[in-house]
Amino acid sequence: MREILRLSLILALVGIISAALLTAAYNVTEPIIIERRAADYRQALENFFPGFASFETEQVEEGQFDLIYDDTDDLMGIMATVAVLGYDGDITYNLAFDDSGEIIGINIVSHTETPGIGDVIERGSFQEQFEGKSHEDPITAGEDVEIVTGATVSTVAMINSIRQTADFVAQSFLGIEVEEIDFAEVPDGTYQGSAQGFIGPIVVEVEVSGGEVIDIEVIEHEETATYFVESYPLIPERIIEEQNLDIDTQTGATGSAEGIVNAVENALLKALGEDVDEPVEEEPVDIDLSEVPDGTYEGSAEGFMGPIVVEVEVADGEIVSIEVLEHEDTPEYFRESNPLIPDRIIDEQDFDVDTETGATVSAEGILKAVLNALSGALDNGGGGDEN
């Protein structure tokens, strides 16, 4: 008995010493950590608002918002500090707005994303796409900003968070009315709308009754089936359940999810009599090869990351060769479609080729570029090289 008591006491003693040591270490390091964070923050403020004099902090549920003033007490802008759940934990970042709600820049404060993969959010190329945007811009993945493949969770989380923050800042601090669709104001009826999905436009039909969205159906899409099933019918179900467009779009096919949401938004906007920017349903271009004069033609179309430029050689009403001159797509993806798609086009002497590869967007881009090259040849009335 005494033995157990003695042992327990010794254990307890060790425990107490440990706790004491740790508390001491904590009290030493915590102020350093806090000071460093504050210094980093001041540095970020300097970068975005040079010469600022003071700021006023407002802490709300959405995050911390600092109103930045210059030395004449004019509002220079707002610095938001927001945390969003990324892949492996929270990403905390600063978002700087000027006084009209336009984004000046982003600063990542901390994150635990995978080095070499998720930390792409720290790169200039990702952050720069937000500069100059405001609540008036869609700031939507696939529309005006790009996700980064291989780091979709990290980048989509950031994009959605930035969009929501921009809207929030405009509404709460700058008194700007942010367009949000009130379902109750939409007249009963069935409306169609479309928006860009991951690969191509998604067309939805939305049924509204009694101020509520009661049904959403996707009537057309070009998404890859195995991915699309991750978002449909899940996303329409969420919209109907929450009677709101601000739902979680992180599925295994987030591009499609965002497309569906935007298509529904466009449908409802049209119902409210607003102008919308919808993707133009491209008329299936049918080119009669026999009408294309012999020659070499260049054409370009949008690929996944940027334009694809092709050179097409035609002789005796047949496509003899197709060469990709330029592209900006990731090499390991692009080679899934090139030279496969050019080969298919030449084999079939037709444009109705299967474009489902491991890089369908690139494939579609190559196809469209070829079509553009040949339409250009026809438009020009033929003859010779077209540059």
Footprint on this chain of another protein (rule: CB under 8 A): 6-7, 10-11, 14-15, 18-19, 21-23, 25-26, 29-30, 32-33, 36, 85, 87-89, 110-112, 115-116, 119, 152-153, 250-252, 331-332
CB of 27 to another protein, least distance (A): 10
CB of 124 to another protein, least distance (A): 9
d(CA 199, CA 118): 23
Vertex 358 angle, CA 353 and 362, to 5° = 65
Of 30 and 277, the one with the shorter C-beta distance to another protein is 30
Of 225 and 280, the one with the shorter C-beta distance to another protein is 225
Of 158 and 271, the one with the shorter C-beta distance to another protein is 158
CB of 13 to another protein, least distance (A): 10
Contacts of 227 (CB under 8 A, 6+ apart): 198, 252, 253, 256
Helix (H) or strand (E) segment spanning residue 44: helix 2-48
CB of 172 to another protein, least distance (A): 26
Q: What are the distances in angstroms from CA 326 to CA 72, 262, 310, 311?
A: 52, 31, 7, 10
| Peptide bond before residue 339 is cis, with ω within 30 degrees of 0 | yes
Question: For residue 281, which of 269, 263, 255, 264 has the smallest C-alpha distance?
Answer: 263
Of 39 and 184, the one with the shorter C-beta distance to another protein is 39
Give 322's strand partners.
Answer: 312
Helix (H) or strand (E) segment spanning residue 269: helix 254-271
CB of 250 to another protein, least distance (A): 6
CB of 109 to another protein, least distance (A): 10
CB of 229 to another protein, least distance (A): 12
CB of 142 to another protein, least distance (A): 17
Of 172 and 250, the one with the shorter C-beta distance to another protein is 250
Of 152 and 262, the one with the shorter C-beta distance to another protein is 152
Asked whether 245 and 264 are in contact (CB, 8 A), the reply is yes
φ and ψ at 110, to 5 degrees? -155, 155
Of 19 and 320, the one with the shorter C-beta distance to another protein is 19
The dihedral through the CA atoms of 282, 309, 146, 150 has a sign that is positive
Of 119 and 207, the one with the shorter C-beta distance to another protein is 119
d(CA 314, CA 297): 8
Question: For residue 346, which of 317, 310, 318 has the smallest C-alpha distance?
Answer: 318
